[in-house]
Amino acid sequence: MKLQSQSGITLLFSVFVMSGVALITMSVGFFAIQELRASRSVILSEPAIGAAETAAESGLWQLYRTSSQPSNCQTGVDTRVLTASQTLDSRCIKYASATIGVTAGAEYVFNLYDPNNRNGNLNPGYTSIVATYLNGATSLTIRVERLDAILVSSTTIPPGSQATQITLPTSPSDDNRFRVIMSSAGNVTVDVNTNLGMSDFPTLATEGCATQGTDPSSCLTSKDAFRRKLEVLVPR
């Protein structure tokens, strides 16, 4: 009777052991798959990061060492395939607002011009300046002059004010490149933008893309492509 009461224990124990082994096997397989995916991501992401940095370095070289500059992001992107790789990089220049610190008693000067044709384009298309007072306790004065020092406007912005818009003249018969001079009796921080962005504060936008395929152009459409982006502020 004692032997009969213990019948089936061995079978039940075997089921538990097999279940444990199966669970361990499934866990090991799951983690192995995750490691393979992570390894593939590293293999593709490192070239993408390197390509983005390469595009940034070549873009800076083009800006500072040559007479040309990368394409404007609004009109096009400069793309190239890196030699002997499944990687491509791209770069372009975009213009946005700039946060500027004005030191007490000192003038801060920047210019508005066509960055692609500084001397040839006398009407680059600037129609307005928007200045937003950020920090400080004294009024900020913004003078706008043409490049021949003819005064266009003078605006005083009190501390804590909202965004102030300054309208620029756009007569096609005039030289509509401008010099903007900001000054204050105290230290002031201001955000400045124009309808075309800030030509003296371009941002170099770069991207690197790597893919497992043999055609680097598939980076634009492939789901297996890895992309990395960089933005470098390049004050002039």
Domain boundaries, the chain: 97-194
Which CATH code is given to the segment(s) 97-194? 2.60.120.380
Whole-number pLDDT of residue 210: 83
* Three-class secondary structure of residue 233 per DSSP: strand
Widest CA span in the chain: 116
Q: What is the pLDDT of residues 67-113, one digit of tens each?
A: 788 888 888 888 888 766 678 889 999 988 889 999 999 999 999 98
Which residue has tokens 């204050």? 184
Residue 141 has pLDDT above 90, yes or no: yes
Whole-number pLDDT of residue 1: 47
For residue 42, how many other CB atoms are within 10 A of its CB?
10
Global pTM? 0.66
Q: What is the pLDDT of residues 160-176, one digit of tens each?
A: 888 999 999 988 888 99
Q: How confident is the model at residue 4 (pLDDT cuts 50, 70, 90)?
A: low
Which of 228 and 108 is assigned the larger pLDDT?
108
Strands 178-184 and 108-112: antiparallel
Residue 68, exposed/middle/buried by CB under 10 A (0-12, 13-18, 19+)? exposed
Q: What is the pLDDT of residues 115-130, one digit of tens each?
A: 878 788 889 999 999 9
Q: How far apart are CA 89 and CA 95, in angstroms?
A: 20
